[in-house]
Structure 1
Amino acid sequence: MAWNVFKYCTALRALGSIMILVVIGIIGFTYYALVVANYGPSLFLGGFDSLLALLVLALFHFLLIMLLWSYFSVVVTDPGGVPPGWRPELDIEKSDGNQEYSSLTVGDSSSHIVRYCRKCNQYKPPRSHHCSVCGRCILKMDHHCVWVVNCVGAKNYKSFLLFLFYTFLETTVVAISLFPVFLVFFTDGDSDVTVSPGSLAATFVAFVLNITFALSVLGFLIMHIMLVIRNTTTIEAYEKHTAPNSPYNLGRKQNFEQVFGKDKLYWFVPLYTQDDMKRMPALRGLDFTSRSEESEPLQSL
C-alpha cells in the first residue's frame, strides 16, 4: 500500500501563521542585501553603475510587488467551501466504500452513488476533499500549503501559481544580481566591490537563500504546470493509481482557461474578470466539464 502523504497533515496546525512571518523575514533580509547594502548606494556612483543599479532595482521592486500581491491573495482568499445546503445532481462521483462517504442512491438507479462527508455532515461536490487542517471540505482541493497557511483550492489556485511564478523570477533576479558580490568570498580581497564585512556576509547568505529557493520553486512550478496541462490536482495525481485517466482533461487550452480564465490581460494578475466568473463554472469550483458523460470520475481520499 502506498504511503499516504496527507495522513499527517494535521501536524501543520502547529506552525500556524508563523510561516507568514518567516516569508516576510526572508523577503526583508533579501531586500536589505540587494537594495540597502549593494544596489541602492550604486545609484549615486554615476555612469554605467547607476544605470545598472536603476534597472536592477526597478525589476526587483516590480517583481516584489507582484510576488507579494499574489502571495497575500493566496493567504486571504477563501479557496472555496461547499455552500450550505448544497445537494448533488445525478451522475456524481461514486464512492469507493471509504468510511468518510455514505453510499446514497439518487433517483431510481442504484448506480448513481453520491459522496457524503461524515466529518462535515454534508454532500461533497466533484473534486472536493476534506482538509484535516482547515476542518472542512475544499472545492477542487490541491493541497494545504504551509507557506501560505491556507488550502489551495478552486478560488485561489491561480494566485498560488502566480506566487510560484513571481517567486522564481524574483529569486533568480536576486541571485544573478548578487553573484558578483558573492564571488568576493573566493578572491584575495582585490575587488571593485566595496561593501562592509557585515554587508558582505548578508549578501553571501542572501545569495545562497535565493539560489536555493529559485531551484526549489522551479521544480515545484514545473510540476504544477504539468498538472494544469492535464487538468488535475496534486491530490488527484497522487491517486492516479486508482484512476489514471482524468475525465476532466479537455485539452491544454481549455484546461489552462479553467485556471487562468479567458481574458489574456488578467493572466498575470491574481484576479478574474466578472465575465470569466459568470461564463466559467470551473472557476467557482462546483461544476466541471468532463470529456464524456461515461468517463469514470476520480475517487477521493
Structure 2
Amino acid sequence: MAWNVFKFCSALRALGSIMILFVIGIIGFTYYALVLVNYGPSLLLGGLDSFIALLVLALFHFLLVMVLWSYFSVVVTDPGGVPPGWRPELDIEKGDGNEAAIAEASPLSVGDSSSHIVRHCRKCNQYKPPRSHHCSVCGRCILKMDHHCVWVVNCVGARNYKSFLLFLFYTFLETTVVAVSLFPAFLVFFTDGDDEITVSLGSLAATFIAFILNIAFALSVLGFLIMHIMLVARNTTTIEAYEKYTTPNSPYDLGRKANFEQVFGRDKMYWLVPLYTEEDMKRLPALGGLDFRSRLEESEPLQSL
C-alpha cells in the first residue's frame, strides 16, 4: 500500500505556520546584513559610495515591498472554493448527455481535473467543476488547484495563482540583487590580509551567511519560476501536468496570449501587481475559476461558417 503523506494534514498545517515565520526570519536577517551592516553605513561616506548605496537600497526596498505584498496576498487570498450547491450547467441544444450523467452521479463518479464529464468529490459529497481538485490539507475542493504550498499555509488556486507567480518573480529578483550586492563583501571573508577587513567578525559572518542563503534561494526559485512560466504558456497546472502522463494535452490551451490573460488579466498596468481590475474580473470568467473555454469551444464559430 502506498504511503499517504496527507494522513498528517494537521502536521502540515502547523508546518506552514512555522514556514511563514521562517520566511520572515530570512527576510529580517537579509535586511540586517544588507542595510544595517553594509550599505546603510555607506550612505555616510559621500561621493560615489553613497550614490551606489542609495541605488542599491532603493532597489532593495522596492523589491522587498513587492515580495511582501505578493507573499501575503497568496497567504490571505482564498484560492477559490466550489460554491455551495454548485451543479454543472446542462447544454440541452448540444445534447451532450449531461442530464443522465448528473442523474446517475454518485460518490464513485470521478475523473481527471481537466475532463468535461460530470465529476463528483467523494470527500466533499458535491459536484466538482472542471479543473478543480480536492485538497486533503485544506479539506475542500479548490478551483483550478495548482498545489498546496506549506510556505504560504494555503492552496495555490485560481484566485491567488497570479500572486504566487509574482511572489516567485520578485523573490528571484530580490535574492539576485542581494547576492550581487553582497558579493564584494563576501569576497572579503576569504582575504588573508587583516588590514583589508574593516568590519567586525560578527558582521562579516552575517554577510557571508546572507550571501549563501540568497544565492541558494535565487537558484531554487528560478527553477520553480521557469516551470510555472511553462505551465502558464500551456494553460495547465502542476496537477494537470502530472495527469497528462495518462491523459491528452490540456483542452484549455488557447494560445500563449489568451493563456497569459487567464492568469494575469488584460490590463497591462496590473500585470506586475497582485490585483485585478473589476473590468477584467467581469470579462475574464476564468479568473474566478469556474468558467474555462476549451479549444473545441473556441473553434466552434469557425466550424459553423
Q: TM-score, normalised by structure 1?
A: 0.88
Q: Answer whether contact 2:79 2:160 (CA < 8 A) is retained.
A: yes
2:275 matches 1:255: no
2:159 matches 1:155: yes
Q: Answer whether contact 1:184 1:191 (CA < 8 A) is retained.
A: no
Q: Give the drift of 1:77.
A: 0.1
Q: Which residue of 2 aligns with 1:269?
A: 273
Q: Which residue of 2 aligns with 1:81?
A: 81
Structure 2 counterparts to residues 186-225 of structure 1, below 5 A: 186-189=190-193, 194-225=198-229
Q: Answer whether contact 1:249 1:255 (CA < 8 A) is retained.
A: yes
Q: Provide the secondary structure at the position in 2 that maps to 1:292.
A: helix
Which moved further from structure 2: 5-14 or 276-285?
5-14
| AA aligned opposite 1:70 | S
* Shift in CA distance, 52/34, structure 1 to aligned 2, threshold 3 Å: same
* Shift in CA distance, 257/193, structure 1 to aligned 2, threshold 3 Å: farther
CA distance in structure 1 between the aligned counterparts of 2:46 and 2:207, rounded to whole angstroms: 22
* Shift in CA distance, 4/253, structure 1 to aligned 2, threshold 3 Å: farther
Alpha-carbon displacement from aligned partner over 1:154-195 (angstroms, at most 9, x marks no partner): 000000000000000000000000000100121113565622
In the alignment, which of 271, 292, 295 is matched to residue 291 of structure 1?
295
Q: Provide the secondary structure at the position in 2 that maps to 1:173.
A: helix
2:44 matches 1:44: yes
CA distance in structure 2 between the aligned counterparts of 1:174 and 1:148, rounded to whole angstroms: 22
Structure 2 unaligned segments of length 5 or more: list them. Answer: 91-95, 300-305
CA distance in structure 2 between the aligned counterparts of 1:8 and 1:164, rounded to whole angstroms: 29
Q: Give the drift of 1:14.
A: 3.7
Alpha-carbon displacement from aligned partner over 1:81-102 (angstroms, at most 9, x marks no partner): 001111012467x99xxx9643
Q: Answer whether contact 1:116 1:124 (CA < 8 A) is retained.
A: yes
* Shift in CA distance, 50/24, structure 1 to aligned 2, threshold 3 Å: same
Q: Give the drift of 1:103.
A: 6.6
Q: Answer whether contact 2:64 2:174 (CA < 8 A) is retained.
A: yes
Q: Which residue of 2 aligns with 1:55?
A: 55
| AA aligned opposite 1:71 | Y
Q: Give the drift of 1:294.
A: 11
CA distance in structure 1 between the aligned counterparts of 2:248 and 2:110, rounded to whole angstroms: 23
Structure 2 counterparts to residues 169-184 of structure 1, below 5 A: 169-184=173-188
Q: Which residue of 2 aligns with 1:65?
A: 65
CA distance in structure 1 between the aligned counterparts of 2:298 and 2:284, rounded to whole angstroms: 22
Q: Which residue of 1 aligns with 2:303?
A: none
| AA aligned opposite 1:287 | D
CA distance in structure 2 between the aligned counterparts of 1:222 and 1:60, rounded to whole angstroms: 23
CA distance in structure 1 between the aligned counterparts of 2:60 and 2:119, rounded to whole angstroms: 47
Which moved further from structure 2: 152-161 or 241-250?
241-250
Q: Provide the secondary structure at the position in 2 that maps to 1:155.
A: coil
Q: Provide the secondary structure at the position in 2 that maps to 1:242.
A: coil
CA distance in structure 2 between the aligned counterparts of 1:201 and 1:207, rounded to whole angstroms: 10
In the alignment, which of 97, 119, 127 is matched to residue 123 of structure 2?
119
CA distance in structure 1 between the aligned counterparts of 2:219 and 2:198, rounded to whole angstroms: 29
CA distance in structure 1 between the aligned counterparts of 2:139 and 2:231, rounded to whole angstroms: 25
Which moved further from structure 2: 39-48 or 112-121?
112-121
| AA aligned opposite 1:102 | S
CA distance in structure 1 between the aligned counterparts of 2:3 and 2:162, rounded to whole angstroms: 26
* Shift in CA distance, 193/43, structure 1 to aligned 2, threshold 3 Å: farther
Q: Give the drift of 1:242.
A: 1.6
Q: Provide the secondary structure at the position in 1 that maps to 2:213.
A: helix
CA distance in structure 2 between the aligned counterparts of 1:277 and 1:202, rounded to whole angstroms: 45
- Report sequence identity in percent: 82
CA distance in structure 2 between the aligned counterparts of 1:235 and 1:247, rounded to whole angstroms: 15
| AA aligned opposite 2:109 | S
Q: Which residue of 2 aligns with 1:102?
A: 109
Q: Provide the secondary structure at the position in 2 that maps to 1:15.
A: helix
Q: Name the structure where helix makes up a greater proportion of residues.
A: 2
Structure 1 unaligned segments of length 5 or more: list them. Answer: 105-111, 296-301
